[in-house]
Structure 1
Amino acid sequence: MNSNKINYADITISAVSPSQYPKEGLPEIVLAGRSNVGKSSFINTMVNRKKLARTSGKPGKTRTLNFFNIENELFFVDVPGYGYAKASNAEQEKWGRMMEDYFSTREELVLGILLVDFRHEPSEHDRLMYDFYKHFDVPVFIVATKSDKIKKAKYNKHESIIRKALDIDPDDKFFTFSSFTKEGRNEIWEAIAAHLQKDERT
């Protein structure tokens, strides 16, 4: 896939149960992160679209698993953002069950991307999400968003804070990313392509 010229990207379905998941059998890459971490901006930047994934002024708006078909080669799966204080316990339990159903049963799931805010130490929710990926044996990329807000001289310091807080496995890839400057976009696509090729061989 030529990441610089993506001709097709569209949302296929917003699913709440396994019966609604796409049937194409394409590899799926899950995107998880706090409600305000910039997942929609990440998706739009990665596929060179402005409004494929809707950015919202209201955190926690995503209530479903949103499947985005990219070039009929893979799906980005945007899962509900976590850490949104106004979500009720019942809503959070519902999200949790939906996530567990997906992670525990979906054979097409080949990679997880955990988005964290590069400016801040990861939250307890971030750590739990990282552990969630590990529990289900899902390979993980860490993507630190909003890198344009940090001076280059402080990159190592912020990366070190994130690695320590999440207790990141040394083998897990770490990227800095900015939807404003597109920093990290090409590197992430290259790593995704390499991972998919590796997955095909195993």
Structure 2
Amino acid sequence: MSNPLQGAQFVLAAHRISQLPADRGAEVAFAGRSNAGKSSALNALTNHKGLARTSKTPGRTQQMVAFGLPPVAVEGQPPLDARLIDLPGYGYAKVPLEMREHWKLEIDAYLHQRRSLRGLVLIVDIRHPLKEFDRMMLAFCFATQLPCHVLLTKADKLSRNQAMQALAALRREFADNSPHATAQIFSSAASTGVDEAREAVMTLLRTPRETHPAGDR
């Protein structure tokens, strides 16, 4: 199967949302707690091992990083400018409090104001329950009708049965609290769920939002 995310390229790293590329076209943001496997997931999805920086030290993504994609074909429309946005990893205690507060404010502003944002990919370590940050992101997506696709990463660390049980439990929770969210098991190390995740990202990029952020700039 061809990879629709092949050709992703680094564009820029932004300390503030005002520094991001022009707010047009379509983009999907990637968010997750530090050390949940976000950089590895981005590299696996784009088939570019060095695209997103990976490190054994959590919290290395300290800016919003934009990756440009080849134009996305949409039936009956001109091709869309498309991007992936890697949001700063959240929750690593060794990051200074001032920086953590800055990230929190900028991520909040990005999610509320960015009109080209069409969906969120939330990275969650399958071995652990949802954390406060994960629930906060899901609640935001529910409140704003922002589609969210959850990658339950590091699935290779569990048995197939354990992984499927974790997925089923999360989907049951979605039925009550996050109807706009979908989920799958994923492992960048074992290439589990990579094609499914690529298709989910492309679906998000091609699908206009039902509602848009209020911050029309």
TM-score (norm 1): 0.88
Matched with 2:186 is 177
2:41 aligned with 1:42: yes
Give the Cα separation in 1 of the matches to 2:177 and 2:192: 22
2:39 aligned with 1:31: no
Give 1:40's aligned amino acid: S
2:120 aligned with 1:118: no
Matched with 2:207 is 198
Give the Cα separation in 2 of the matches to 1:126 and 1:97: 16
Matches within 5 A, 1:56-135: 56-73=55-72, 74-135=82-143
Shift of 1:155: 2.3
Q: Is the CA contact 2:141–2:180 (under 8 Å) kept in the aligned structure 1? A: no
SS in 1 for 2:151: strand
Give the Cα separation in 2 of the matches to 1:143 and 1:6: 17
Shift of 1:192: 2.7
Matches within 5 A, 1:151-190: 151-163=159-171, 168-190=177-199
Shift of 1:200: 8.1
Q: Is the CA contact 2:142–2:177 (under 8 Å) kept in the aligned structure 1? A: no
- Number of equivalenced pairs: 201
Percent identity of paired positions between Structure 1 and Structure 2: 34
Q: Is the CA contact 1:45–1:182 (under 8 Å) kept in the aligned structure 2? A: yes
Shift of 1:122: 1.6
* Structure 1, gaps ≥5 residues long: none
- The verdict on how the C-alpha distance between 1:189 and 1:6 changes in structure 2, with shifts beyond 3 A counting, is closer
Q: Is the CA contact 2:145–2:180 (under 8 Å) kept in the aligned structure 1? A: no
Give 1:82's aligned amino acid: Y
* Structure 2, gaps ≥5 residues long: 73-81, 212-217
Shift of 1:26: 2.7
- The verdict on how the C-alpha distance between 1:168 and 1:184 changes in structure 2, with shifts beyond 3 A counting, is farther
Shift of 1:180: 1.2
Give 1:182's aligned amino acid: S
Give the Cα separation in 1 of the matches to 2:89 and 2:179: 26
1:150-185 Cα shifts (integer Å, max 9, x gaps): 111222322244456776524521111111121111
Give the Cα separation in 2 of the matches to 1:184 and 1:62: 24
Q: Is the CA contact 1:9–1:69 (under 8 Å) kept in the aligned structure 2? A: yes
1:50-90 Cα shifts (integer Å, max 9, x gaps): 11111012211212110111224421111111111122332
SS in 2 for 1:119: coil
Give the Cα separation in 1 of the matches to 2:4 and 2:119: 22
Q: Is the CA contact 2:23–2:114 (under 8 Å) kept in the aligned structure 1? A: no
- The verdict on how the C-alpha distance between 1:84 and 1:200 changes in structure 2, with shifts beyond 3 A counting, is closer
